[in-house]
Amino acid sequence: MNDFGKGSFVIHAIPMNLETSDIGGFIESVLESLKFPGKDHTTNQSQLLAKTLAKKLSIKRGERLHQEVMDALIENLYACKAPGVTPDGKPTMWVISYDELNKKFKI
């Protein structure tokens, strides 16, 4: 994205999984998130933009994925510096022992 004059900008590319018909609404929602970042205390605008884009383009709950996509997601997760937490500090996974499963589901 580059400045293109007063109050305008040029977009050179869009994320691969974003429908071109959704681009206007997507850009508006990203800009709105940047204006009102909420609880995100990131001071660096580039980091805030990256987090905002990641959240907006993330896989939504209930969305079905092919096995190859799921495998790639797990591989990419474990390639991160801190695979156990999200950028917001929320856990990405829990380790549950067989005994805990057995208690929960009475296996």
For the chain, the distance separating the N- and C-terminal CA atoms, rounded to the nearest angstrom, is 54
Backbone angles phi, psi at 75, to 5 degrees: -60, -45
Domain ranges of the chain: 2-105
Q: Minimal CA–CA distance to 54: which of 75, 76, 21, 71?
A: 76
Q: What pLDDT, on a 0 to 100 scale, did the predictor assign at position 42? A: 60
Q: Does domain 2-105 have CATH number 3.30.1540?
A: yes
pLDDT of res. 77: 92
Residue 26 near residue 18 (C-beta atoms within 8 A)? yes
Kindly report, residue by residue over 14-24, the tens digit of the pLDDT.
777 677 777 78
pLDDT in tens, 50-103: 777 777 778 888 989 999 999 999 999 999 999 999 877 889 999 999 999 999
> Please, are residues 10 and 2 in contact by the beta-carbon 8 Å criterion?
yes
What pLDDT is attached to residue 96?
A: 92
How many CB atoms are located within 10 Å of the residue 52 CB?
19
Cα–Cα dist 10/19, whole Å = 18
Q: Is the pLDDT of residue 3 over 70?
A: no
Structural contact between residues 26 and 15, judged by C-beta atoms closer than 8 angstroms:
no
How high is the pLDDT of residue 60? Answer: 84
